[in-house]
Amino acid sequence: MEGAERAIVAELAPRARLWPALGAIYRAQLSRARVARIPLLFVATFQSIGIMVLMRGVVAGGPGEEARAVVAGSSVLVVAFVALNLLAQYFGQLRASGGLDHYATLPVPPAAVVLGAAAAYASFTVPGVIVTAVVGGLLFQLPLGGLWVLLVVIPLAGAALAGLGAALGLLAPRQELATLCGQLGMSAALLLGVLPAARLPQPVQWVRDLLPSTYGVEALAAALRTSPDWGRVAVNLGICAVVGVAALALATWAYRRAAVR
């Protein structure tokens, strides 16, 4: 009798497949973020545009390395603010409040929870990134024909940064540390993304190479040339994709680890 009851329960509540579960969590997270995060997205966009206005006083306009680095770094900074910083805070709060227990009771794969939340936060950055890139291109007199690369840069850089943010939030032993890690990650994206790599000391360049947002910045900067270097764009996007997969895999492992505790 007991075995029959288990069989009935299994038929009534089968484990959801990855993609339908991911879609459901993505829609739920996007709906939640639409209300709670719009003011923060405005802040992120305003912050990035403010940095470009400030840098315009010391960086000449035109398709030079410095101008392209400022615009590309400021645009990807919007992704870092939302996908890395806010997602680290979200998962840190979720873990501290016991919210992971709710997700653990749902018949959904752990990867769907992480990927759904990461995709929602990354999608939420799209308007701010586009506005920042267009304003920056006009401000620094850069060609705007290569901005279509943002259609690839946003999801790839967003996946890498969101995966890192989720992992930081899930691995941090305390909510305050998750918030601190998110803020430090966003600060690193600001300091190491906006400045041209050639101007940085060699040890700092090594740290920059470890930052997931670096490859999205480099891809966008290469696309903002008068004659875009599509080979360099493709290489950096490929690296960004690999880093994104690794970051999301780390976040999924961190979720499993946090959910069983």
User: DSSP per residue over 130-155, as a string?
Assistant: HHHHHHHHHHTT---GGGGGHHHHHH
Residue 188 sits at φ, ψ, to 5 deg, of -65, -40
Q: Is residue 2 part of a domain?
A: no
Q: Is residue 48 part of a domain?
A: yes
What confidence category does residue 4 fall into, taking pLDDT thresholds of 50, 70 and 90? very low
Look at the chain and report how many structural domains it folds into: 1
Q: Calculate what percentage of the chain has a pLDDT beyond 90.
A: 49
Q: Is residue 161 part of a domain?
A: yes
* Other CB atoms within 10 Å distance of the CB of residue 250: 18
Q: What is the mean pLDDT of residues 240-257?
A: 92
Q: Is residue 11 part of a domain?
A: no
Per-residue model confidence (pLDDT) at position 104: 73
CA–CA gap between residue 208 and residue 80 (Å, rounded) = 14
Q: Is residue 37 part of a domain?
A: yes
**Which of 52-56, 109-113, 223-227 is least confident?**
109-113
Q: Is residue 242 part of a domain?
A: yes
pLDDT, tens only, 176-205:
999 999 999 989 998 888 888 888 888 999
**Domain residue limits at 41:** 17-259
Instruction: Return the amino acid letter for 23.
Output: G
Kindly state the tokens that stand for 82: 């939302």
Residue predicted with more confidence, 260 or 109 = 109
Q: Is residue 200 part of a domain?
A: yes
Per-residue model confidence (pLDDT) at position 47: 92
> What crossing angle do the helices spanning 110-123 and 230-259 adopt, rounded to 10°?
130
CA–CA gap between residue 212 and residue 226 (Å, rounded) = 26
